A and B are shown apart, each in its own frame.
Chain A
Amino acid sequence: DSGVTQTPKHLITATGQRVTLRCSPRSGDLSVYWYQQSLDQGLQFLIQYYNGEERAKGNILERFSAQQFPDLHSELNLSSLELGDSALYFCASSAPGSYTFGSGTRLTVV
């Protein structure tokens, strides 16, 4: 157990739908990062939050959004889903020099 908790582990949904992925960081970590991993693209950085504020954006689509709550857990919202959004979605939390990943959510869009 890495200390970073992601739910759900698996999600199957239809095109056009909206889903929410959840991440609880390690105790004491203020930063949360979201990554998407597909077979051909590798791990792609989506967005970072630090202590509730958006800190950096990567290759995140406009259909995707995220937020970090006062208890530091984070949610990634994916809407108008397309087949190409099928991927593993990882959350990571960090302290200086240390980035720890969760076990991921496997999203399948059918």
Chain B
Amino acid sequence: EDQVTQSPEALRLQEGESSSLNCSYTVSGLRGLFWYRQDPGKGPEFLFTLYSAGEEKEKERLKATLTKKESFLHITAPKPEDSATYLCAVQGNQAGTALIFGKGTTLSVSS
């Protein structure tokens, strides 16, 4: 069974204090690993898709990396507007498989 575990559940940072969020996964053949940002009461907003180990993608203060067992979302010099819940999801190789999500990491950045 495909599984995604995210840690920590919650993270509090000071503005400018860099950190990383972890996403560990087990999947029967990885088609893609996805990162989303979700604000309270809103739909998940797409950030990145990673397809193979060693791949990295960046967007502003965020950088996602992928190994065969986990992915990291690195946040460099965060700002208060980066406060949100970050969700990780995997899609397996079988045709028609949906995204399986972790429970998320809730990030709070204070100024």
Which residues from chain A sit less than 8 Å from chain B, CB to CB? Answer: 2, 4, 33, 35, 41-45, 48, 50, 55-56, 58, 88, 90, 92, 97-104, 106
Contact = CB atoms under 8 A, between A and B. Distances in A.
A103 B43 CA distance: 4
Contacts of A43: 44, 87, 89, 101
A11 to B, nearest CB: 14
B78 interface: no
B12 to A, nearest CB: 19
Interface of B: 32, 34, 36, 41-46, 49, 87, 89, 96-104
B98 A42 contact: no
A103 to B, nearest CB: 5
A2 B43 CA distance: 9
Instruction: Tell which of A43, A56, A101, A102 has the most Cβ of chain B within 10 Å.
Output: A43
A90 B32 contact: no
Contacts of A92: 99
A101 B41 contact: no
Contact of A42 (B43, B46, B49, B103): B103
24 contacts: A2-B43, A2-B45, A4-B43, A33-B98, A33-B99, A41-B103, A42-B102, A42-B103, A43-B87, A45-B101, A56-B96, A56-B97, A56-B98, A88-B41, A90-B43, A98-B46, A99-B46, A99-B99, A100-B46, A101-B44, A101-B46, A102-B43, A104-B42, A104-B43
